[in-house]
Amino acid sequence: MNIAICGYGAGNVRSVEIAFRRLGAEITDDVGAADLAVLPGVGSARAAMAGLRERGHDVALRERFDEGRPIFGICLGLQLALDWTEEDGGVDGLGLVPGRSSRLREGRVPRMGWAEVDDRGAFYFAHSYAAETPHATAWSEGVVAEARFGSFFGCQFHPEKSGALGSLYLEEALSLSRV
Amino acid sequence: MGDPVELGAAYSDAGADELVFLDIKATLADRPTLVELVKRVAERLAIPFTVGGGVRSADDAERLLQAGADKVGVNSAALARPELITELAERLGSQAVVVAIDAEGGRVRSHAGTISAGRDATEWAREAEQRGAGEILLTSIDADGTREGYDLQLTAAVAGAVSLPVIASGGAGNARHVADALGVAQAALLASILHENPQRLASLRDEVRELGVPVR
């Protein structure tokens, strides 16, 4: 099972690599051919979208999506899959999943720390923006924690930073992509 | 007190929510060693990992993140040049930027507490927030090492002054202390009380939970 991580030149994608490797996945550069493409969740929207475009990942991801091939987004990766985000003065996303991302208006921001996701247990969150989409499939304290649409699925939390539960979540992500 | 890699892994296995590494010596010559250490620790963790000590630039911070850290802590360098906080937030995202504040008598001290920064902890915390910090790691020099409890007054004052998550640090001796700290801050940091006996972490978490504080 091989996965491609769509880096955009900033931040820590190593944790995602390490987590998937631990589960036996191999890492490939080929976003188009990989069994699963992963959109990681670091940095901020404007720089990330520019980085994705520079590397041609936006085109490769759109092709995968149109062909019904799995894409998994984490944190910012989920938000970038939407049409638009309020971050950085407003940035167009990949437009794979109908919806938008907006700044959290309640509580301490960024929303950092472990929080319950429905009845699944606690996962680690670190975000200032959250998805607004009709395709949400899980919630955490009123915030969208997971969304699915077409061959894209994504989570707002960081499964690679969520201990044993996070590892199980990633395992599930891998098995969903094994067709 | 032993190999930091093994200790980090032990804490991760014992249920720690996050790990923080502060390189207290933090000389420029030691920088590559720290980056190597971060790589080795990151391999063993599945929880968030914050690294601090001598970070002076966004390049320094980026190297640590690329090595496997999730967040970077800045302290003295941010006091000397507050623009650093914004540079880090713009390059890495606020959620990766922890501003560490050491305070004695409510006043900020830098360089491992050796120099007075000539300003108020709450006021500096507010500025750090404005400049783009994602979290405040607040250490009470007064309480640090006493094991008599966190400095709740200082922590409440800083937590009340910002809309950022605040991590209380300094003074933990038992579960009640941790529970009380979590009543005024969003997270509680423990150090010496655990390093002597890492296995203590699991039972401590149970005790905090039994005191009615949500612990995962």
Active site residue A75: yes
Which ranges in A31-130 belong to alpha helices (H)? 45-54, 57-66, 76-80
Asked whether A124 and A161 are in contact (CB, 8 A), the reply is: yes
Number of Cα atoms under 13 Å in the Cβ half of residue A33: 5
Q: Which of A75, A127, A135, A146 is catalytic?
A: A75
User: What pairs with residue A149 in β-bridges?
Assistant: A152
Q: Which two tokens stand for residue A174?
A: 């891998």
- Residues in A closer than 8 angstroms to B92, CB to CB, are 10-11, 42-43
Check: pTM over 0.80? Answer yes or no.
yes
Residue in B88, B118, B90, B97 with CA at minimum distance from that of residue B106: B118
Query: What pLDDT is attached to residue A56?
Result: 94
Q: Which residue ranges in chain B fall short of pLDDT 50?
A: none
Residues A114, A121 contacting (CB under 8 angstroms): no
- Assess if residue B215 is contained within a domain: no
CB B134 within 8 Å of CB B164? yes
Matching residue, tokens 């049409």? A83
pLDDT on residue B17:
97
Residues in chain B with CB shorter than 8 Å from the CB of A19 are 46
Tens of pLDDT, residue by residue over B148-193, are 999 999 999 999 999 999 999 999 999 999 999 999 999 999 988 8
Whether the CA torsion A61, A66, A69, A73 is positive or negative: it is: positive
pLDDT attached to residue B106: 96
Which chain A residues are within 8 Å of B165, Cβ to Cβ? 108, 110, 112-113
All residue ranges of chain A with pLDDT < 70 are 10-11, 179
Check if A146 is active-site: no
> Would you call B62 and A126 a contact, using CB atoms and an 8 Å cutoff?
no
How far apart, in whole angstroms, are the C-alpha atoms of residue B170 and residue B33? 27
Instruction: Write the Ramachandran bin of B74: left for phi over 0, alpha for psi from -120 to 50, otherwise beta.
Output: beta
**CATH number, position B152:** 3.20.20.70
Name the residue of chain A whose CA is nearest to B91's CA.
A43
Measured over the CA atoms of residue B70, residue A110, residue B137 and residue B81, the dihedral's sign is: positive
Residue A179 is predicted with a pLDDT of 62
Known active-site residue A160: yes
Give pLDDT, residue B142: 96
Residue % of chain B over a pLDDT of 90: 81
C-alpha to C-alpha distance for B160 and A60, rounded to whole angstroms? 47
Residue position matching structure tokens 């970038």: A80
- CB A11 to CB B216 under 8 A? no
In angstroms, the separation between the Cα of residue A142 and the nearest Cα of chain B is 18
A87-96 burial: b if 16+ Cβ within 10 Å, else e: beeebebbeb
Which structural domain range is residue B71 located in? 4-210
User: Does the bond joining A40 to the residue before it have cis omega, within 30 degrees of 0?
Assistant: no
Among the listed residues A78, A57, A81, A59, the one whose alpha carbon sits nearest the alpha carbon of residue A5: A57
CB B137 within 8 A of CB B167: yes
CB A39 within 8 Å of CB A154: yes
Q: How far apart are CA A162 and CA A140, in angstroms?
A: 14
What are the pLDDT digits (tens) for B107-120?
A: 999 988 899 999 99
Task: State the pLDDT at residue A149.
Answer: 98
What confidence score (pLDDT) does residue A165 get? 96
Q: Find the Cα–Cα–Cα–Cα dihedral A151, A85, A128, B43, rounded to 10°.
A: 40
Where does chain B have alpha helices with state H? Answer: 4-13, 31-44, 58-67, 76-80, 83-92, 121-131, 152-161, 175-184, 192-195, 200-210
Domains: count for chain B: 1
Class of domain A2-177: alpha beta
Would you give the DSSP letter of residue A47?
Answer: H
Question: Contact B46/A121, CB-based, under 8 Å?
Answer: no
Q: Are B99 and B130 in contact (CB under 8 A)?
A: no
Instruction: Report the gap between the CA of A67 and the closest CA in chain B (Å).
Output: 32
Residues of B in Cβ contact (< 8 Å) with A122: 216
Among A47, A108, A158, whose Cβ lies nearest the Cβ of B186? A108
Q: Per-domain residue ranges for chain A?
A: 2-177
- CB atoms under 10 Å from CB of B28, counted, come to 9
Whole-number Cα distances in Å, B59 to A10, A90, B63, B82: 11, 26, 6, 16
Measured between CA atoms, the residue of chain B closest to residue A167 is: B46
